[in-house]
Structure 1
Amino acid sequence: MAAGMWHCPACGRTFAQRRQTHTCRPLGNVDDHFTGSAPEVRATFDRIVEMVSALGPVEVLAERTRLALHARMSFAALMPRRRWLDGHLVLAREISSPRFRKIEIYSPRNVLHAFRLTGPGDVDDQFREWLAEAYEVGRQHHHR
C-alpha cells in the first residue's frame, strides 16, 4: 500500500483520503467478470494490466460492475462484455480522438474518456500513452 493511504477496515479497499465515501462491499474475483466473454476480451484486459503494471504498482479491484485500476485513486475502469471490453480512462485533460466514444468533464483535471476495445491489438502505442497519462492521474501526480 502506498504511503499515506487509508485502508477501509470493512471492505479492505485503499483510498488517498481517510474515511473516503465509497460503496463499502467486499471485492469479488477478476475471473468472474469474464464469464461468457470471448477469449479476446480477457486477452485485451490482460494486455492492459501488463502495460500498466510496467509503469508501477497498481491494484486491480474486482468491483460488482467493473474492474477498476487503482493507484492512489482509480484511474481506469474496465467492463468485460461478450465480444468487447468497454472502459474509461481518467485523464488530466480532454483528448479529442475518434477512439473515444464519450468524454465527460468532471473538473478541469479529471476528464473521463470512454472507449471500446475489441482485441489486444487495440491496445497499441497510442493507447499505452493514454494509459500512462491516466496512471499519473491515479497516482495524483497531475496535481503537482
Structure 2
Amino acid sequence: MAELSALWRCPRCARTFANRNQSHACRPLGDLDAHFDGKDPAVRETFDRIVGIVRELGPVDVLAEKTRIALHARMSFAAFTPRIHWLDGHVVLAERLTSDRFTKIEVYSPRNILHAFRFHDPTDVDAEVTDWLTRAYAVGHQLHHR
C-alpha cells in the first residue's frame, strides 16, 4: 500500500492540495451564504443536507469559491452551483456508476470520473445519493490509490 504524501499548502491562498504546486485559481475564498442569495430556500436546504451527510463521514472543508462550492479533503470530491430553483452538482468517483439521475458523466482518467446531477429539493438526497457521497468522500481522501 502506498503512503500518501503530506498536503501542500499554497503560500498565497492557503488552500491545501495533494500535489505540490498544483495548478489552481489562486484567490481568496468567498462567502458561502452569498452563493445562496436570491435562491429558493430549498436550494440551501438541499446543500445543507448534503454537507450534513458528508460531515457524518468525517472531516471536510467547504470551499466557497467564486463560481462553485467545493467539498474538499486531500482533493475536491464534489462541487455545487446553486441556481435560483435548483442545485447543480457533481461527485468524483473512482468508477463509473449508472443512474437515471446523472445528467452527465465525464471520464478524466480510469479512477477520476465526474458524475453530474441536479436536485430541486432536500428529499432528492436519499440513500442512493448517500452512497455516491460516501464513494466520493473516499476519492477525496485518495483511498482508491491505496
Same fold (TM over 0.5): yes
Give CA-to-partner distance per residue, 1:28-69, whole Å, 9 cap, x none. Answer: 010000011100000000000000001011000010000000
* Aligned partner letter, 1:69: L
User: For 1:7-46, what aligned pairs fall within 5 Å after superposition?
Assistant: 7-46=9-48
* Aligned partner letter, 1:115: F
Aligned length: 142
**Correspondence for 1:73:** 75
Which structure 1 residue ranges, 5 or more long, are not aligned? none
User: For 1:101-140, what aligned pairs fall within 5 Å after superposition?
Assistant: 101-140=103-142
User: Counterpart of 1:100 in 2: which secondary structure?
Assistant: coil
**Correspondence for 1:97:** 99
Misfit runs of 4+, over 6 Å = none
What percentage of aligned pairs have identical amino acids? 63
**Correspondence for 1:88:** 90
Higher mean C-alpha displacement, 52-61 vs 6-15: 6-15
- How far 1:143 moved relative to its partner? 1.1
- How far 1:126 moved relative to its partner? 0.8
Distance 2:140 2:114 in 1: 12
Over the aligned positions, Cα root-mean-square deviation in angstroms equals: 0.9
Distance 2:55 2:16 in 1: 18
User: Counterpart of 2:115 in 1: which secondary structure?
Assistant: strand
Distance 1:128 1:112 in 2: 16
- How far 1:23 moved relative to its partner? 0.8
Q: 2:54 aligns with which of 41, 52, 61?
A: 52
Which structure 2 residue ranges, 5 or more long, are not aligned? none
* Aligned partner letter, 1:84: W
